Amino acid sequence: MVLMRQGFWFLLVGGALVVVDSLVTIALSRAGMSLEAANIIGRIAGALLGFWLNGKITFASGDRRLGPRQLIRFIIAWLLLTAVSTLLVTGIGHHFGLSSAWLAKPVVEACLAVVSFFTSRHWIYRQP
């Protein structure tokens, strides 16, 4: 039952984060920023909201608070997933054009969300 509750909230929170991330990426790249920089800033915007929401709602457990251990683990996972996202989105942009990268961005993030869910559940927000 816990897995279903966590999965539901992760999808709900994650959906909002993909929207924030994608809109920031599209807006910045449309305004002339490089796709690489726009993608990273978009992911930062989502990460700021995501760490807190997932820690407080999705993977909340009793009286446990978010602390430095969770933050460090979150940053490590975020850096790795951001590198993969940026490589994929910019690769698509370079090969197929900016509008294709915009369309691919939410799909890439949705695929990475599967990895993020299990990483969050079993490593980032896991109780010691």
CA dihedral 30, 88, 92, 107 (to 10 degrees): -80
Looking at the structure of the chain, the number of domains it has is: 1
Give the integer Cα–Cα distance in Å for 29 and 40.
11
Give the integer Cα–Cα distance in Å for 58 and 82.
21
pLDDT in tens, 64-82: 678 899 999 999 999 999 9
State yes or no: pLDDT of 126 exceeds 70: yes
Give the integer Cα–Cα distance in Å for 65 and 102.
36
Give me the phi and psi of 86, to 5 degrees please: -65, -45
State yes or no: pLDDT of 127 exceeds 70: no
With bands split at pLDDT 50, 70 and 90, how would you rate the model's confidence at 109?
A: confident
* Predicted local distance difference test score (pLDDT) of residue 54: 92
Query: What is the domain range of residue 9?
Result: 2-124
